[in-house]
Amino acid sequence: MREMPEFPLKVFYDGSCHICSAEMSLYMKKDHGGRLQFIDISDPGFNPLEYGISLDDFMYQMHAIDRRGNMYRGVDAFRAIWRAFPGSSWYGTLGTLTASPVVRPIARLAYRIFARFRGYLPKRRAAACRIGRRPSGLFFQARRKPDNRQKE
């Protein structure tokens, strides 16, 4: 990724994955000036065909699409996200580091390994990170446990 993404950047993430959700939650809380729009691909209402990408591809790796329609995948998607925080020296350092010719192939390999095995990592909600499977509405509805405590 050599050029600056044109914001807003649509960030597609798997909300059923504990690690993906935790990472995106950090980005959501940080001031990004509306430069990021988060789309949970595990939501039963999500239609991947709207973007011309299969759900399997979305589940396989992180995707981001900028205003011009440029697609960023995997580590490049994270670098595009990090550019939404221009005042952060931490994200700037990560972006520069992962773009270097020495670190870039290592970062891509590490991300591919993570993407392949994230389905086996701790889960969020009743369903797991569902690589290659369509969401089932029953698993993705918020469920509340009854409050059995006595009221005072």
Q: What is the pLDDT of residues 21-61, one digit of tens each?
A: 999 999 999 988 999 999 999 999 999 999 999 999 999 99
Q: What is the pLDDT of residues 69-90, one digit of tens each?
A: 999 999 999 999 999 998 888 9
Distances (CA, A) of 102 to 27, 90, 98, 118, 119: 27, 19, 8, 25, 28
CB–CB of 119/59 below 8 Å?
A: no
Distance CA(59)–CA(130), nearest Å, equals 7
Q: Which residue has the tokens 């239609």?
A: 47
Q: What is the pLDDT of residues 116-145, one digit of tens each?
A: 888 777 665 544 444 444 444 333 333 333
The identity of residue 6, as a single letter, is E
CB–CB of 18/43 below 8 Å?
A: no
The predicted pLDDT at position 146 comes to: 40
Query: What is the pTM (predicted TM-score) of this model?
Result: 0.76
- CA-only gyration radius of the chain, Å: 17
The predicted pLDDT at position 104 comes to: 94
The identity of residue 110, as a single letter, is A
The identity of residue 4, as a single letter, is M
92 pLDDT above the threshold of 50: yes
The predicted pLDDT at position 141 comes to: 35
